[in-house]
Every structure is written in structure tokens, then in C-alpha cells.
Structure 1
């Protein structure tokens, strides 16, 4: 990680020298991006569910996981959370105890410290488990997932976490009412989700930035259903992402 930058909402992020991308949209802000693109859509969809099992792909600086806890606390939600998150960069995780997080996370310092040191945290209503290693292998070991934050680096540089084969494993480890949230609106990503068995939806929460989420079953919800068969007919050049 070679560059440290403050985003518009006052939260800090980093630049990945490996993937040549920032961890977050530097025009939006790290916390705002987590809330708008992942937490709010997922928790709105699961507003009645009290126990939630979440996969955060990949942990990185931890904003999705930490923003989830912040959101639950701020809104006094009666939720019991289990969060599972793979991350290949051990050095990054261990450095988080020194990372300058925003004021919104001030009361989460102990959680951050324990995750940096022990790769896990647990109290009465919260369990977090980090896995240092290959996300593809890790998701084969978990089950009954309610929410997947699909937040890997983009498919252009990290396609192994956007392929049909990968999403098939996500499909297998998730509950029937699981929601997959992602920032990507790329047709090839949507096709990968679709060919893995998911139904595709589009929302526009900020008024000018569309985003994708996926369900295992078609439902009548407050979101635009995307007919992927029609997309395939209209754009015959578009292809899903495969491992090979």
C-alpha cells in the first residue's frame, strides 16, 4: 500500500500498489460508499430478520464490517451479527491498529485492535472472523449466509473474485433469501452472477449512481428487475467471466 488519502466524507483510504486501484471511491468517501452500496440495501432488504450472517469480500481496511456495526448501533437495531471475511494480506490486517479511522468508529477501537491482533472478535450480539488466505477456498467452508458484500477489487484486475465459478460457490453457501450487494454495474459481472443462478436487480440510491444487487429468487421488491436473457439477446458480444 503506497498512498494514503482522505476521502470527501472525512474517512481515509489507501491505494493498492498491487491492483493499481484505491480501496474506495475517492469521490464518494469510504464510509458513505460502504453504507450506500452495501449496508443500507442489505439491511433494508433484511429489515425483519434478527440474526444475520454476513460475508464481507474482502476485509481490506474493514470499512464494510465496521460500518455495519456503526449502522446497527446508530439506528438501535436489534440484530445479532456474524461476519465472516477473507483477506489475503496479513500485513495489512496487522497494520489496522495504527490506521487513522474516522470519528464514527471511535467506540469500535477495541474491536479493531482485537481483529488486528487475533483476527477475531466476539461479544453477546457480534461475532467477527477474519480468514487470512484465499477467499475462493474460504467460501467453500461456510454456509447459511444472509448477506454478501461483494466488494473485491474490480473484475479487470481481480477477475477470480467475479467469475461464474466463484459466484456458484457464493450461491451454494448462501440461504435462499440471501442478498449479494456490489458496486459493479458491468454487464459481464451481472452475467456472471446470472449464470451462477442469481436474479439481478438495479437500484439508484444516490440519484445518479446505479448499482447492482442479486437475489437467489425473483421477488417483487423496490428495485428494478434486470432481464438478463433480454440483455443477452440485445448484446450478443457480452460474456460472463469464467476462470478459464
Structure 2
């Protein structure tokens, strides 16, 4: 399928799939959306429920672990923001990114997240998110381990493994098979008890699929351009 780079409303770039008229991130702001959905209502919420506050210990004293599964590794924006934000907290991140169709190095080089976030000293880390080997764990910083897996979401077999899931699949309009009870059962099983899933979506059919497999659902204010988003918790 034909893909090209576009600039979203907050100045950050994303990839558009022309045949679907679908983007990897919101046209209203790629960075704004990722920060709102996955960092504010995902990562920071999960850290808060575990009682973690802004870093008060040295790097060497970080012993707590947070395991994150990303559904749709894509441009690496969510993982990059997570890596940057986690530096402020006394936690080590184990990050698994699932992607069936990785973007090209040329596409990665056309993205401007380092510039827009004003973190030139982290440019090499953003590159490493994409150039690190698939199917192997890579220690990108002393507190952030990345394990990229090239597979379809339906082939995930993890059980009670993750504290947090970023569900960032393409929308149900173009890939409805990714928003079914079958897929959300896999997500539910992959989470630890009290684990959390966050997504930009809020369609009724998505909520019903989540409820069907046992999730407890919260509707939250959405990012720019969307009225609502969802946060789901594995309640036992």
C-alpha cells in the first residue's frame, strides 16, 4: 500500500496510508495524541496506582519494574515518549512492541519527533528504537529494555505478563478484525490482575467487545479531535 509522510496539526509528522485514508497518528497532533492517551492516561496512571512518584532515588536504586505491551509499534513515538518520561520515575521499563509490518528506515528518518520534543541528545535513542534487532531484547538505557516482535496481534500468547497495554491499532473503520472480542480476550489474558489497557478508540462496538471478555471500562476525555477515549482494567 502507498504510504507517505504528512505533518499533523501540532507540527509533528506521521505516516499516512493513502489507500485507506488512515494515519498512524491523529491528524490533530501526533505527539499531542500520544501524550494524552498513552502517557497521561496510561503510563502515568499505571505509575500512580503503584505509588511511584517523581524520582527521589538514584538510578542505581531503581528496582521496580513496569512491563508494557504496545499493540502497533509503528513509528516508535509511543515507545520514545515512554522512554523519556520514565527517566523521571524510580522504575525500570520492560517494553514489548508488536508490529506485523515495520516502517522503513527512510520513513523513520523523515519523522521529526526529536526536533519537536526538543531532545537532540536523544536522537540516537530514537534511531535505536528502529534499528535494534527484532525478536531480541535490547537494553537502550539502564532503565529501558525494548523487545520488538514482528507478528500479528492474534498470535500473541502472553499470560498475566503486562502491567499496561497501549492499544494503538489502526481504526476499526479500516481493520475491524483488530477490535473484536477475540482480540481483546488476548489482551485481557496478557495483562496481570489489575493491569490496564488504554486506547484512543471509544466506539460502542469496542466497549462492548471489552466488556464481553471481562474488562472494567472507563470513558475519559479524548485527545484533540476526539471527544472520548477508553481505559480498561483487568478486574478479577
Q: TM-score, normalised by structure 2?
A: 0.81
> For this pair of structures, how many residues does the alignment match?
213
Counterpart position of 2:110 = 99
User: Distance between the aligned counterparts of 2:186 and 2:37, measured in 1?
Assistant: 22
State yes or no: 1:163 paired with 2:174: no
Can you give the 5+ residue segments of structure 2 that lack an aligned partner in the other structure? Answer: 53-63
Answer whether contact 2:33 2:223 (CA < 8 A) is retained: no
Counterpart position of 1:67 = 81
Can you give the 5+ residue segments of structure 1 that lack an aligned partner in the other structure? Answer: 219-244
State yes or no: 1:23 paired with 2:33: no
Candidates 110, 113, 120, aligned match of 2:124: 110
State yes or no: 1:2 paired with 2:20: no
Counterpart position of 1:12 = 13
Q: Per-residue CA shift, 1:81-131, capped at 9, x if unaligned?
A: 0111111113x1544552332322533322232332233531321101111
C-alpha spacing 1:188/1:113, structure 2 compared with 1 (3 Å): same
- Tell me by how many angstroms 1:133 deviates: 2.2
User: Distance between the aligned counterparts of 1:110 and 1:143, measured in 2?
Assistant: 33
State yes or no: 1:39 paired with 2:39: yes
C-alpha spacing 1:159/1:206, structure 2 compared with 1 (3 Å): closer
C-alpha spacing 1:182/1:194, structure 2 compared with 1 (3 Å): same
Candidates 163, 169, 175, aligned match of 1:152: 169
C-alpha spacing 1:195/1:154, structure 2 compared with 1 (3 Å): same
- Secondary structure (helix, strand or coil) at the match of 2:163 reads strand
Answer whether contact 1:85 1:129 (CA < 8 A) is retained: yes
C-alpha spacing 1:128/1:18, structure 2 compared with 1 (3 Å): farther
- Secondary structure (helix, strand or coil) at the match of 2:164 reads strand
Of structures 1 and 2, the one with the larger relative CO (CA 8 A, separation 6+) is: 2
User: Distance between the aligned counterparts of 1:110 and 1:68, measured in 2?
Assistant: 16
User: Distance between the aligned counterparts of 1:142 and 1:107, measured in 2?
Assistant: 37
Instruction: State the superposition RMSD in angstroms.
Output: 2.2
State yes or no: 1:86 paired with 2:103: no
C-alpha spacing 1:170/1:10, structure 2 compared with 1 (3 Å): same
User: Distance between the aligned counterparts of 1:18 and 1:60, measured in 2?
Assistant: 17
- Secondary structure (helix, strand or coil) at the match of 1:140 reads coil
C-alpha spacing 1:17/1:165, structure 2 compared with 1 (3 Å): same
- Tell me by how many angstroms 1:56 deviates: 0.9
Counterpart position of 1:176 = 193
- Tell me by how many angstroms 1:192 deviates: 0.6
User: Distance between the aligned counterparts of 1:19 and 1:133, measured in 2?
Assistant: 21
User: Distance between the aligned counterparts of 1:93 and 1:81, measured in 2?
Assistant: 25
C-alpha spacing 1:142/1:118, structure 2 compared with 1 (3 Å): farther
Answer whether contact 1:53 1:146 (CA < 8 A) is retained: yes
C-alpha spacing 1:86/1:205, structure 2 compared with 1 (3 Å): closer
Q: TM-score, normalised by structure 1?
A: 0.79
